[in-house]
Structure 1
Amino acid sequence: MDHIAPQPAVPTVLYTPDGTPYYTHHTPPAPLALYQPPTPLPAPVHYPGPVGYLPAPIAPAPLPAPVAVPARDPWPARLLAGGIGIGAGGLGLGFLLQTLAAATTGLGLLLAALGVLYLLKNSGGGGRGGGGAVNVSVNVTNRNR
């Protein structure tokens, strides 16, 4: 038994009229034709009209409506922008809370200092309420003389 691998079919080589080869695996349905660029249209000839006659201006041709091209979804850019936005928001919130804590601490210390000043001014000392000047008169007599 002879085991010979099947050989691939040799592609057909065809040539264009200028001698360029091209390869095909089947016969084309029609002979290939060379591309010929279109010839430019002749420039329009403008004939002068009667004196005093002005032709109406030619309106430009309307542009075709833009076709929405399905773009690739930039998900890495959206993830990066979201991460930066969340990080910046968290940083801003941290600064806001730190500033708020510093402000309330400062206000608390100022209120405590004012309270101490009020108590020093309005208390007579000694634990007695209602201070003020007190007139004291002391009479001492010595009976042993």
Structure 2
Amino acid sequence: MDHTTNPQPFAAPVLYTPDGTPYYAHPAPLTAPPALYHPAAALPLPAQYAAPVLQLPAPLAQAPAVPVRDPWPARLVAGGVGIGGAGIGIGFLAQALAAATTALGFVTAGLAVVWLLKTTSGGGGRGGQGAVNVRVNVTNRNR
């Protein structure tokens, strides 16, 4: 590995101020004394960077409270819209309830018809008993 083509980075020596604060020295001669680092909170901002002072306007004099008219027409209209909306909602509810009960009635009627067809036979009498053995003895006494 050739170190001549890739020289090692320069490491600046560390010097200290009389109070013991470290700073990095550069091989070139300094044109001014080294500046010490001060946190931003400790330094005051220059005038061009200072926040502008906001001047709030003087509070306006409060006008005396004027009694406001009761908006009874608006309340009547709002109540009417509310009642109308409730009426429409109740109408939809009643319609859905009627449809459900109608469907339930149709299902019940269908089940009743099926039960009746299953339990009764085509003829009259005691229905649904199946085949019955009948023995009939007829004698002619007039002989």
Q: TM-score, structure 1 length as denominator?
A: 0.42
